[in-house]
Structure 1
Amino acid sequence: MQPTPAEVARTLAAGHLPAVAHIACRPGPIPVRHVTDAQGHVLLLSPADGAFSTALRPQPGTDDTAMVLDITDVPPVAGSPGLGRVWVSGWAKRLEGDEALQATLEYAEIDASGDLLDVGDSQVLHRMDVAEVRFERNEKLVDVDPDDFAVASPDPLRQIEFDLITDLADHHLAEMSAYVRRQLGSTFQPKDEPRVVRMDRYGFLVRLDEKLARLAFPRPVTDRHDLAHLLHPVLCHRCGS
Structure 2
Amino acid sequence: MLLVPGLVSARPEQLIADVRSVGPDGDLFLVFPADSPVVRAATHAQDDEVRAVLEITDVAPVSVPHRIRGRAWVSGWLTLVPGQAAPGRMMLRLEVGEAYVDDLWGASAVDPEDFARATPDPLVRHETELLQHLDSAHGERVRLLCGLVERDGVVGVTPLALDRFGLRVRFRRADGHTFDARFDFPDPVEDITALRRAMHQLFEAAAR
Normalising by the residue count of structure 2, what TM-score does the alignment of the two structures yield?
Answer: 0.77
How many angstroms apart in 1 are the aligned matches of 2:122 and 2:15?
A: 25
Q: Is the 8 A contact 1:68 1:87 kept in 2?
A: yes
Q: Is the 8 A contact 1:57 1:65 kept in 2?
A: no
Which has more helix, going by share of residues?
1
How many angstroms apart in 2 are the aligned matches of 1:58 and 1:91?
A: 14
Mean Cα deviation higher: 191-200 or 42-51: 191-200
Q: Is the 8 A contact 2:61 2:132 kept in 1?
A: no
Could you tell me which runs of 5 or more consecutive residues in structure 2 were left unpaired when the two chains were aligned: none
User: Matches of residues 130-209 of structure 1 in structure 2 within 5 Å?
Assistant: 130-137=96-103, 142-178=108-144, 180-181=145-146, 183-184=148-149, 187-189=150-152, 191-192=154-155, 194-208=157-171, 209=173
1:37 matches 2:18: no
Q: Is the 8 A contact 1:175 1:234 kept in 2?
A: no
Q: What is the CA distance between 1:63 and its match in structure 2?
A: 6.0
Match of 1:73 among 58, 75, 78: 58
Q: Is the 8 A contact 1:63 1:93 kept in 2?
A: no
| CA gap 1:67/1:221 in 2 versus in 1, 3 angstroms | same
Structure 2 counterpart of 1:92: 78
Q: Is the 8 A contact 1:135 1:142 kept in 2?
A: yes
Q: Per the alignment, in what secondary structure is the counterpart of residue 124 of structure 1?
A: strand
- Identical amino acids, percent of aligned pairs: 29
Q: Is the 8 A contact 1:77 1:197 kept in 2?
A: yes
Q: Is the 8 A contact 1:46 1:123 kept in 2?
A: yes
Q: Per the alignment, in what secondary structure is the counterpart of residue 147 of structure 1?
A: helix
| CA gap 1:225/1:82 in 2 versus in 1, 3 angstroms | farther
What is the number of equivalent residue pairs in this alignment?
194
Q: What is the CA distance between 1:64 and its match in structure 2?
A: 4.4
- CA deviation map 1:23-81 (0-9, x unaligned): 13332464231222343211010122222211211535x16422111111111112165
Q: Per the alignment, in what secondary structure is the counterpart of residue 127 of structure 2?
A: helix
Q: What is the CA distance between 1:216 and its match in structure 2?
A: 0.5
Q: After TM superposition, what 4+ stretches of structure 1 lie above 6 angstroms from structure 2?
A: none
Identify the structure with bigger relative contact order (alpha carbons < 8 Å, sequence gap 6+): 1
Q: Per the alignment, in what secondary structure is the counterpart of residue 155 of structure 2?
A: coil
Which has more strand, going by share of residues?
2
How many angstroms apart in 1 are the aligned matches of 2:82 and 2:155?
A: 57
AA of the residue aligned to 2:50: T
Could you tell me which runs of 5 or more consecutive residues in structure 1 were left unpaired when the two chains were aligned: 1-19, 101-115
